[in-house]
Amino acid sequence: MRSYILAKINAEQFVKDGKKNVRIAKAKRKNSYVILLEDEKPTKNFDVLETLN
């Protein structure tokens, strides 16, 4: 849960900096989160959880 909260805080900062379509994705088999910016596509090992604009 802690890594999700950190990813969410970082994603919100990207939105404040003017990025559009910021998404948080979670790895299917691990408790890892990544931030996808604008036109980046998640690989098949990640599921998009949330989109921030």
Strand ranges, E, within 2-52 = 22-27, 33-36, 46-52
Task: Give the Cα separation of 53 and 51 in Å (integer).
Answer: 7
Q: Alpha helices of 1-53 — where are they, by DSSP H?
A: 2-16
Q: Are 46 and 21 in contact (CB under 8 A)?
A: no
pLDDT (tens digit per residue) in 1-53:
788 999 999 999 999 999 999 999 999 988 899 999 988 999 999 999 999 98
The pTM for the full model equals 0.85
